[in-house]
Structure 1
C-alpha cells in the first residue's frame, strides 16, 4: 500500500496525511522514559512493523497506538509499559476537558450525582454550595496541572492513591486542629473585627466556643475539636454560679434591710466559693466574713440562697448547652451552607462544675433539635472512658445488678463519673453520640497523667471524630492540644492485591500453594513501596505548606491556636511551626484486598487476617523510617472514606472488569473493617478489629451495627462498651437506626411509612463514617449502597 495515500482519522473525526515520523518519535520518547538506549535502526524497524499492518486507506489514531503497543511488547516489554502508561495519561488529560464540562453541567443542573453529594455536610444545590463545588473542581484541575509533581498527579488520577482535599492544596492550609480553649479564654482572642475578652458566664463560654469553631473552620479544610470540653466549660459554670449567688444574696439582704453593693458581694463570694458544691466549712467561713462586716445572715438563709443559686445555674447551663448544640447545627462556615465539622471530647472532669456541663449537654442532646427533637449531627461527641474516673469493673458489675436503678441515679458508685458513663450510654442509645474513647488502652495512655493534676486533660488523648488522632509528637509535648493533622493520602489496597494475585498467577512453575504465597509476598512488597511513595508525596506537600505566610491564617496563627503560631510575624512563613502536626498514610479496602488474594475476608479467615495485619505493619515500618528520615510525625490512618469508597471501586471496575467479591459492589469497605455484609457477632467483630487500632495511630474506629430501637435497651449499649474496653479498642461507636417522622414527630424504627400518621416524609439518620451522621438522602451512591448492605450484629 502506498503510504502517501493513507489518511489518519484523528479523535475529533478530522483527517490528515499519514506521517511515519510521528510513530518513530513516540516510540523514541518511550525508550527515553525507560532509560533504555535507543538505536535508530530499532526504532525504524518497529515503525515498519507497525505500518505493515495497515490494510485500509484510512486508520484511526487509537488503532495505530494499539499496533505500537503490540510491536513494542514483542521486542521491548518495559518500553511498551511506559508507552501504555503515557498513552493512558494523555487520554486522561484529553478526557478531562470534556469531563470538566460534564461536571459543570451537573452542578448547574443540580443533578443528584456523586460530585454534588461528595460531602454530606454541604448543601450543594444552593448558590453558595454550587459556587463551592465549581471552585473545588476547578482548583483540583489547577493542582493536577501546576502544583503536583507528575508522578503523584498520575497516581491520583489513575486511582493508585487518593490525595485528600486536593481542592485546598493551593491554599497551603492544614487539615484540622484541637483547641486549647482554656488558654484562648484566659488570654482572650481577636477576630477580623475586634478582640474578645475573657468570658464571664457559662452562656458566654458556650457561645464563644461556637465562634472559635466557626472562625477557624474558614482557615482549614478538615474538622475542629475541643479536647476537654468539660474542663474548659467548668470555669464558666462557676462564674455563673457566683454571679447568680451575688444577685440572690443581694436581694435577700435588701429585704433584710442591709444596704448592699452587689460588686462587693460578688467579690466576697469569689473569695470564698470556689465550687458550686461548697462544704460546711466554706459556708461557715463565709457567714463569719459577713458577720465581721456587720451583716447578719443565718445558716438556713445561706443554704436557701445556695439552693436557689444552684437551680438557676443548672438552668443556665442547660440553656447554654442547648444553644451550643443548636448553634453548631445551624451556624454556617465556608460556603455551601456547610456547618462546622465539630467534635468535643469529655468525661474526666470530676468537679461539680464539669459534671454539670456534661449532665446538661447529654440532656440537651437527647432533647434534640426543633419541635420534633431531631438528632443533632454536630458536635460529634466523644466520651473518654478512664479507669478510676469514669469506669471500673466493680462499678460495672454493680450497675448490672439493677440497671434501671443505676441509670436513674439510685446507686452509689466508687468512680466519680461512672454515672456520667451510664448517661452517655443512654444518650448514645437515643442520639448515636457520644462515641467512646478508651484512655487506658495501652497506646492511648500518657506517662505524665496524674489524677491530682488539675490540668490532667493535657495528657489525655482526644480526637477529631475518627478522622484524626493526634497524640505522639517528635517535635514537642505529647498532647492533643494546639496540634492537628497536616494532610493525608490513601492507598488503593484492593488494587495492590489484584495486581499481586495476577502476577502470582502468571508464574507457570509454581504450585497453587506456591502461587498463593507469592501473591502474599508481592502484595506486602507493593504495600511497602506504595507507603513509601505516599510518604514522599506527603513530604512534598508539607514542604509546600511550610511556605504559607502566617497572615494567611490570622485566627489560627495570630491567636496561637496552632501552638507556636503566635510567635510569628504576619509576613513570616509558618515553617517549623507545622512540625508538630501529623502526616497520615491512609488505606481503604482491607476486606476487598483479602478477597482478591484468598477469596475470603479477614472476618473469619485467619490467613487473610494475618496478611492484612502484616500489610498494615509494613505501612508502620515506612512511617517509622520516615519519622527518622525527615523528623516529622508520620502515622498510619484507617481512612474513614466517604466519596472515596466509591471512587476507587469505579476506577478498578474499569481497569480490571468486575471481580466477584472484590469490586462487584459500589463501594470498598472502609480501612480494616470486617465486611459490612459479613454475619459476625458483636464480640467477634470487636475482637477481630481491636488489634488494628494499635497500628493505626493516625486515626481509627470500630463500630457495631444494632437492629431495633437501641433506646429501649441501654443496658446492651453499656455491655458493648465494656467489651470494647476489655478488648483494648482505641475508639468505638455503636450504630443503630434513628428515624423521625417530619409530620407528626414520631420516633422509632420506621420502615416505609410512619405507623402513627402514615406519612412517607421521614428523616432517616444514619452514621456515614465515625465522624459524621446524616440523613440518608444526602449521601452519595456508594455510601447509600454500603448502608443498605450493613448487617446487624448480634
Structure 2
C-alpha cells in the first residue's frame, strides 16, 4: 500500500500518521470537558483515515474530515472544534507574511510593497486598493493556478514570474497600436462609437483616449510605433480647414457667394500638403477662379496664414497630448497611463511638424516647467532619413550653425535628430532606437513605400521589443508581449562555484573556475527549458480567455485578429503573434561569483557572460521549434525584482563580496553601476548583448553636470550607439526642478534662485522616468545612489 503524504501549510510534506488524527480528536474532547470512549475515538480515527482520497492530502482537508466525524458522533465537541480552528486560523494569520503586508499597506509604510511600482500613487485609497488586490491575487495565483514546481522556484528565488497578480485575468503584457487603422475605421468604447478625427487636436486627444481605455485591459505598457505618421493626416486636415476658412473670409469681403461644400471638396482635392510648390499653388489659384476670384499672391498669403495657424494648432495639440498623459489617471492606484511613442522617420511636412512641435512642447514641460514623465519618447535613427555620417561631420564642425538651421543636410530629418538631442539634454527624452542595427533591419522596408513605418521596429519605453514573428509579418504593429519570467543568474553562478569547490577541494583556482563555469552553463540551459515550459503553461491559460474579457483590445482589432472573434469565443490563436520573454538579471553579479570580477573589467568574465546569453538563445530556438511560439531572450527591466532576488540570496548564502553585499543585483547584462568606465567604452561593451536579447534591451550612459550646456555631447553619444549597433539607448543626467519657482537644472541642497529645499529629482529607473526618487523602492534607490557618472574617455 502506497504511503499517504500530508501537505503542510508551509508547503512541505511529511508521512501521514493515524496517531495525529487520534490526538486531534482527543484534544477536541478534552477542550470540551466531555468524556470520550477509546473505542469511539479509534473508530473515528479509522473512518477519517479511510476517507482520505489520493496519495497527498492537506492539513486543512484532514481537519475537515475530523470535523465531519465529530459532528456525526458528538456535535457539541464538533462545535468547539470548529470555533478552535477558526481562532487558530486567525492567530496563525496574524503571524503570516500576508498580514504584515496588509498592515504595511494600511499604515502606508514607506516599504518596497508600496513602492514596487514607481508609477503608482500607493498612498491614495485607490493605490491602497490596488496593492491589497495585488497581494491577495498573487497569493491566490501561487496556491491555485501555478504548477507546484514553478511556484516553488518562484518563491525560492530561482526565477521570478512577473505580474503574478494579473495571472488569473489571463491578460497580456503590452501592445503596439496600429493607430492609423483605429482612426480610419473609428473605434468602439463601452458607451459608444468614436468617429474618424478631423483635426490635429482630435487626433492627439483620441490617441490619449486609446491609451487610457486599453490600459484597463493589459497589465503592462502601451506604445504607438509611428506617432509622426499617424498624427500627420490630422495636421493636413486642420490645414485644409484653415485654408477654406481664409478663402471664405476673403470671399465675404469681396461679396462673393461661395458654396462651402464645393469649396471644401476642391481644397481637399487640390491641397495635398501644408507646403505646396509654386506649381501646385499656381494650379490651385486657377481652380479657385471658378469659385472666387483670387490672385496667386492672395492664395500664397492664404497658404502662409493657414500654415502659421496649423503650426500653432499642432503645438497646442502636442502640448495637450503631453499634459493629458501626465494627468489622466487610469487603472487602480491613480496610475497615469504607461505610454510610449516612437517617431522620427516621417519626412512629410506634416509629420515633421508633429515631431518639431512635440519636442518643443516637451522642453516647455508641464504647468510650471516640470519634466514630463510620459509619454516615453523614442526617436528612430535611420540612415538616409534622420542620419548620415556626412551630416554628423557637418554638425560637429559647426554645431552652432547646425542648431540654428544654417546648414543644409542630406538626411531630411537630421535637423530633427539635432532637436531630439537638444530635448534629451533638457528633458531626458527622447531615447533613441537604431533601425540600422543588423538585428533591427527589416528586409521588407522600402524608402519609397508610404507605409514603410509598418516595417520599422518600435520599442516599449521600458525596453520590451516585439518584432520577429513566426505567425505573421515581421512588425511591431498590433501585437505585444504575452508574459515574461526572469532567471536569477547570480544564484546559478553561486551554486556552481560552491559545488565546484566542494567537488575539487584541492584543485587549482583555474580548474575550479573552469568546472564552475561548465556547471553554470549546464544549469542555465536547464533553467531556460524550465522557464520555457512555465511560459507555455501560462500561454495555454491565457489562450482560454474569452474575447469579451478584452472588449477594446479585441473588438477594435487592437490586437490583430481579435476583431474576428465573437464575445464568447476563446482568444486562442489570435495571441500567438505575441512574445514569451525569458529574462535574466545580475550578469555582473554572476560573473563576480564565478571569477571575483565583473565583465566590465575582466575579459574572461565578459566572454563567459556572452556565451551564457548565447546559450539562452540556443534554448529559445529549441523552444520556438518545439512549440512554434515567439520565445525571446529579454534583458529584464528589473524594478522591484532587483532587490527581491538579492534579499533571498543574502539570506541563503550570506554576504558574498560583490555579489550579495548590496541591496540590488545589477540589471541584465549591464556593466556594474559602480564601474569607472567611459561612456563610449560602456556602449562598446554592452552593444554586442543587444543582438542576443531580441525580447528587449537598453543601454544607458550617466552624464555628470548639466547636459543642456553641451548638446554636442549628446549627438556624439548617439553616433557611438549608432556605430556600435546599439538597439535601444538612453542618456541619463540629473534633472532637478524647484517646486517653488520652477527653476530646472542641477540643484544640490537648495534652489539657486529662491533657495527652496522643495526639489523634485527626476531620474530614469528602468527606461522610464519618475517624478521623485522618493517613490522608488529601496533597492532601486540604492542602485541610483551607486551609479557612477561615465567620463568621456576616447571616442
The one of 227, 230, 236 equivalent to 1:229 is 227
**Mapped pair 1:402 → 2:398:** yes
Whether the 8 Å contact between 1:464 and 1:771 is mirrored in structure 2 is no
Cα 1:20–1:578 change in 2 (3 A) is closer
Whether the 8 Å contact between 1:376 and 1:431 is mirrored in structure 2 is yes
Aligned to 1:353: 350
Aligned to 1:388: 384
Q: Distance in 1 between matches of 2:694 and 2:294?
A: 58
| 1:414-563 → structure 2 map (5 Å cutoff) | 414-507=410-503, 508=505, 510-563=507-560
How far did 1:11 drift?
12
Deviation string 1:523-572 (CA, Å, 9 cap, x unpaired) is 11111111111100000000000000000000000000000000001100
Secondary structure, counterpart of 1:689 in structure 2: helix
Whether the 8 Å contact between 1:768 and 1:774 is mirrored in structure 2 is no
Q: Distance in 2 between matches of 1:97 and 1:579?
A: 43
Aligned to 2:44: none
How far did 1:97 drift?
6.3
Deviation string 1:245-274 (CA, Å, 9 cap, x unpaired) is 101111011112211233322211101001
How far did 1:511 drift?
2.4
Q: Distance in 2 between matches of 1:684 and 1:264?
A: 63
**Mapped pair 1:666 → 2:649:** no
Aligned to 2:32: none
Aligned to 1:101: 99
Deviation string 1:186-213 (CA, Å, 9 cap, x unpaired) is 0010000000000000000000000000
Aligned to 1:199: 197
Whether the 8 Å contact between 2:760 and 2:771 is mirrored in structure 1 is no
**Mapped pair 1:636 → 2:633:** yes
Cα 1:283–1:505 change in 2 (3 A) is same
Q: What's the C-alpha RMSD, in Å, of the aligned pairs?
A: 1.7
Aligned to 1:54: none
Aligned to 1:755: 752
Secondary structure, counterpart of 1:332 in structure 2: coil
Structure 2 segments unaligned to the other structure (5+ residues): 1-7, 11-16, 22-91
Q: Distance in 2 between matches of 1:248 and 1:636?
A: 56
Aligned to 2:69: none
**Mapped pair 1:596 → 2:593:** yes
| 1:84-123 → structure 2 map (5 Å cutoff) | 98-123=96-121
The one of 300, 318, 325 equivalent to 1:328 is 325
Secondary structure, counterpart of 1:610 in structure 2: helix
**Which runs of at least 4 in structure 1 moved beyond 6 Å after TM superposition?**
19-23, 94-97
Q: Distance in 2 between matches of 1:673 and 1:253?
A: 65
Aligned to 1:260: 258
Q: Distance in 2 between matches of 1:662 and 1:294?
A: 79
How far did 1:125 drift?
0.6
Aligned to 2:729: 732
Aligned to 2:297: 300
Whether the 8 Å contact between 2:258 and 2:291 is mirrored in structure 1 is no
Aligned to 2:719: 722
How far did 1:289 drift?
1.2
Whether the 8 Å contact between 2:263 and 2:291 is mirrored in structure 1 is no
Deviation string 1:277-301 (CA, Å, 9 cap, x unpaired) is 011121111111122x153111110
Q: Distance in 1 between matches of 2:479 and 2:530?
A: 25
Aligned to 1:687: 684
How far did 1:20 drift?
11
Q: Distance in 2 between matches of 1:11 and 1:338?
A: 35
| 1:8-157 → structure 2 map (5 Å cutoff) | 98-157=96-155
Aligned to 1:713: 710
How far did 1:701 drift?
0.2
Q: Distance in 1 between matches of 2:327 and 2:516?
A: 51
Secondary structure, counterpart of 2:555 in structure 1: coil
Cα 1:20–1:262 change in 2 (3 A) is closer
Q: Distance in 1 between matches of 2:367 and 2:766?
A: 24
| 1:581-660 → structure 2 map (5 Å cutoff) | 581-660=578-657
Whether the 8 Å contact between 1:767 and 1:774 is mirrored in structure 2 is no
Whether the 8 Å contact between 2:258 and 2:292 is mirrored in structure 1 is no
TM-score normalized by structure 1?
Answer: 0.88
Moved more, 325-334 or 276-285: 276-285
Q: What is the aligned length?
A: 708
Secondary structure, counterpart of 1:679 in structure 2: coil
Aligned to 1:169: 167
Aligned to 2:178: 180
Whether the 8 Å contact between 1:384 and 1:436 is mirrored in structure 2 is yes
Aligned to 2:311: 314
The one of 528, 543, 561 equivalent to 1:564 is 561
Q: Distance in 2 between matches of 1:509 and 1:546?
A: 53
Aligned to 2:74: none
Deviation string 1:633-675 (CA, Å, 9 cap, x unpaired) is 0000000100000000011110000111101011000000000
**Mapped pair 1:768 → 2:765:** yes
Q: Distance in 1 between matches of 2:213 and 2:520?
A: 44
Secondary structure, counterpart of 1:637 in structure 2: strand
